[in-house]
């Protein structure tokens, strides 16, 4: 059985690391890269709020540049956690891979944690990759704790 993996991707370093880890540990999986644009947090450029359609087009372009042959790409709008879980369900994913800032204390309390929300509500295994000083993504999983071979 070939696993189906959904990978949360944005321009952040922790999401880029999660993408590398997913590719390294699930090389034969069917992968869907998902970027979520949260309408509530649209940026302002030159004093004007950027339109959702413009943000989604920009995200599609970035995903297309990052995707490898055979990887599917989706850009969706909505709340990050809810939309990632919806994407995983629609794709029939066996695993959801995502990065996290690894915030704690007041930063997490004020900013919330998408990864924590996903973990609380997910009905599938979630691999959360935390930014670290690693030479290679393969260092994240040890031989004693090799999740690459776990099937849901």
pLDDT of residue 130: 81
Sign of torsion over alpha carbons 13, 127, 25, 32? negative
Q: What is the pTM of this model?
A: 0.77
Low pLDDT (below 70) residues in the chain: 47-49, 102-112, 132-152
Bridge partners (DSSP) listed for residue 96: 6, 126
Burial class (CB in 10 A: 0-12, 13-18, 19+), 83: buried
As a whole number of angstroms, the distance between CA 58 and CA 135 comes to 30
CB–CB of 37/55 below 8 Å? yes
pLDDT of residue 109: 42
pLDDT digits (tens, 9 = 90+) for 3-41: 999 999 988 888 999 999 999 999 999 999 999 998 877
First to last CA, the chain: 11
């Amino acid at each position: 059985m070939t696993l189906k993996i959904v990978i949360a991707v944005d321009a952040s370093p922790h999401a880029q690391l999660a993408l590398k880890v997913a590719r390294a540990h699930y090389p034969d999986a069917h992968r869907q890269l998902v970027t979520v644009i949260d309408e509530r947090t649209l940026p302002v450029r030159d004093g004007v709020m950027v339109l959702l359609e413009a943000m989604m087009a920009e995200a599609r372009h970035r995903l297309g540049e990052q995707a490898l042959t055979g990887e599917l790409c989706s850009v969706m709008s909505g709340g990050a956690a809810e939309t990632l879980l919806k994407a995983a369900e629609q794709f029939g994913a066996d695993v959801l891979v995502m990065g996290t800032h690894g915030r704690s204390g007041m930063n997490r309390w004020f900013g919330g944690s998408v990864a924590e929300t996903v973990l609380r509500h997910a009905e599938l295994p979630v691999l959360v990759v935390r930014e670290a000083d690693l030479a290679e993504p393969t260092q994240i999983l040890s031989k004693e704790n090799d999740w690459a071979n776990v099937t849901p």
